[in-house]
Amino acid sequence: MTGVPGLTVGGALARVGAGDAEALEGRGLNASYRVAYGGRPYAVKVHCPERSSVGEFRRIERVDAALRALPWYPPVLDLGFAPGPRPRLVVVRPYAPGAASDDARQHIARVVDVLADLAARGRGVAVEEELIGDYASPWVADARAERSLAEPFLTGEWGALGCAVDEHLAELRAGAVRLTRPDGVLVHHGDLHGRNLVSDGSRALTVIDWDEAGFSRRPADAGKALWLSCRLGRGDFVLDGRAVGRFLERLHARLGLPYANAVDLARLGALWFLPRHGHVTLLGRRDADLGTWYLGWVLRFWTRFRRNLEVVAEAAAERAAGRSAG
């Protein structure tokens, strides 16, 4: 794709097929590998067939063009489809050495700085309307249809999850609509939080996992990052009020987000935790236990949602009062 000598899609697929690639752990729908070639490590992402399309190809290509030369962005080195009856999109990037911290709160400042860079790179970008969308888009466009499709996962054993969806969906959708800017576009990472910021022990930083990258008309990355960056620990959802305050303060300083919009931002991010039929089905096809794990994970989110929303409101009010007093 870039003309830079190195690992190609074909070469990566040959190594994966021969067992010469290191499979990387993950609970997502796509497969990740580390491949050595020419003395250098490469990151190879093989998308699942259901998420492989010309539209996804173009989306990744457009995001790559917008973000190239940013120091934390791993550029696309090659992009193409694996041949077969069900083509799979393959992306080759430089491999980022290092490790992520288990405590995402340590990376709040860096996460917000990346959000600011993404917003800046989105300004003035001309992109086709069909390439604009995020996790909130299906719910904003037709919440009733999405709720109906998800019905099989919202009854019986998961009836409490169905009750949570019915209780909160209207307010979440309203918050997302209020934050939507028809005349503005942001570059959208799709899963931005501390564990997707990899450091090699120096000041070098790489943002990884660009599977869901695209463009959005609302701060969807910031909404999701609020929940994933400010919780006390992984696997559960108890927000740390002090971390929320730091997140909102940094977001206000770097992106100008009013503190009055903080609760709507949390509502927007919460839409990501609503189970969608296609996502749950594909997880179950990959691993039956994975679908069950996911439903239990999001149910834990909703059991804490109302109290966590109060934490966000309290942190925003404290920051607004402090700013006014100053």
Local confidence band at 96 (pLDDT 50, 70, 90 cut-offs):
confident
Strands (E) in the chain, as ranges, are 22-24, 31-37, 40-46, 78-82, 88-94, 186-188, 197-199, 205-207, 214-216
| 3 state SS of 203 | coil
User: Which pLDDT score, from 0 to 100, does residue 84 have?
Assistant: 84
Low-confidence winner among 113-127, 216-230, 301-315 (lowest mean pLDDT) = 113-127
The arithmetic mean of pLDDT across residues 188-213, rounded, is: 85
- Does 70 score more than 70 pLDDT? yes
What are the residue ranges spanned by the domains of the chain? 9-94, 104-325
**For position 201, what pLDDT does the model report?**
65
User: Using CA atoms, how far apart are residues 189 and 140, in angstroms rounded to an integer?
Assistant: 19
On average, the pLDDT of the chain sits at 91
> Whole-angstrom Cα distance, residue 248 to residue 277?
32
Distance CA 272, CA 275 (A): 8
Superfamily name with CATH number, domain 104-325:
Aminoglycoside phosphotransferase (APH), C-terminal lobe (3.90.1200.10)
| Residue 123: pLDDT band with limits 50, 70, 90 | confident
The pLDDT confidence band at residue 2, using thresholds 50, 70 and 90, is very low
Would you tell me which CATH number, out of the four given (3.60.15.10, 3.30.200.20, 2.130.10.10, 3.40.50.720), belongs to the domain 9-94?
3.30.200.20
Residue 202: per-residue pLDDT:
62
The CA-based angle 244-245-246, given to 5 degrees, is 90
pLDDT score recorded for residue 38: 92
> Using one digit for the tens of pLDDT, what is the confidence trace for 218-273?
999 999 999 999 998 776 789 999 999 999 999 999 999 999 999 999 999 999 99
By the 10 Å C-beta count (0-12 exposed, 13-18 middle, 19+ buried), 304 is classed as middle
What tens digit of pLDDT does each residue of 145-200 get? 999 999 999 999 999 999 999 999 999 999 999 999 988 899 999 999 888 888 77
